[in-house]
Structure 1
């Protein structure tokens, strides 16, 4: 029996694709951690479409005191009163409180349980750490809780482009197929998001969409505000520019700039709005490429990772981690640029970027 854990709408898309293509003949449960807008509605639809054997809605605000949450992780306490533990495989898409609690609970009852990763962005391709093992609290949890997820190794990784993976253990990476119209996975996903798609206010596509990433909030040395300022100054007509905010970003993050306001995953939004004539401006986000990876949509992309490295980090000696991450992100962009030279442009400098938007 398998347990899939989702805490964003995109997770649900990739979970369904993974389940349908690799585990459709097995027993599969879905846990939705409701820390995102629209979780209740998607839970109700997930129950209705009957693609999982059981669907559970987990309330993220059930526990509010940080010391209780930490104690649960340290001492493997069943904070959500979980009763079902007979799982052989658990699927996660990153670092999440419930996923950590759930894994340790299942592991304590079944030492043979396997942990798997489903793609959740560029991290799968550029050797980003899926779990933060440097944080003091997490190191302590790893030491004290023998069943902690921080002690686990991923058995398999499910990604859309295994050939882009820049690690040695490529044999662990399994390909998620593109979501073709009228296939089982595609139809299930459209059914899941049916109400949102039907109520979507179709807007006239803007010429450029800037993909936000919360670098500063995550403690990175990359400053997305400075990069957005470069983008704004290069695009003469500001009515042609909109921002697709990261789910964790505040709507006022970039002042009065136009924001794409939707509960849909970015990839479904592009599909619903037929956004082929919109140019995506990405700092280093794989969301620029996922409409193509997932739905085979060909969207023009201006990918800024190399420009960011050259303009902001090339002369600094104390940014080894940032440079490594950027180099890997640049490599992903370069490989995709070879595959899709007509869709992807990679400026090396700010002057180069101006040429692409003039």
Structure 2
């Protein structure tokens, strides 16, 4: 028995050992095309900087590339880290993307920097406002700038200055608020915005955050009711054993990140199997194994359906985390491609 469930993809554009950035991007374009053909709802890319294993550095550029290489799937940011950028620049970028691909662009906004203090300082030197207190104001500015009517600024001279992100917008991207704390749930509800809690990254407060969002939601011009979905890390293969082997490199990478060890490119399956980890890292990996979806197709689909019911959502966004074997083509992600294929067969028909 199947239930109506929409599936989406989150992609950090992983770069494994031996891959170039160009090869990793080629693999992502192929994955996005496959998601488009299989009937996935949306395809989002994240913002991370100065990481050897992640090529997803500039969401607007990537969104343009991916949207141009797909036909119907929505493409967006999961997310643009607002403290790193001036609101006008974001509004202009996504206004143009929406004009080029009307009805297909999502602008997901986050409050975290997604980088270390040095990178944050370099990004903010271009005029971004980094204060936490500026985040709600900057969201309001972006919403106003993207609106076809634009915004009006009151100058110190007493005059009004009209401003638009794009001269003659006929549609606007859907703005989503992203977060990993209850703060973001309160803010999304107050603005009447669709909201996504980062369950794939920090799942301990998901229920509380969604309850706050749904209880406090105030209808807006664009959203009459709360709208959200669930995010999950996922490795699906023909057997559960293979799914675990493919997920291990990413689990080890996350354990290194959370224990403060230096990171390199994503390991291959063979490298991960030979790697030495500390007891603390092994404990982290075991917790990830319990919370991520790492299984064969039928069991994985059953668990996703159960989680969708538990959290009251009709859409699930998966981050396919499978690495690759040493002999895999460097311009492809066979494990991630197979995961989407197997999942779609079970859940999308």
- Same fold? TM cut 0.5: no
TM-score by length of structure 2 reads 0.30
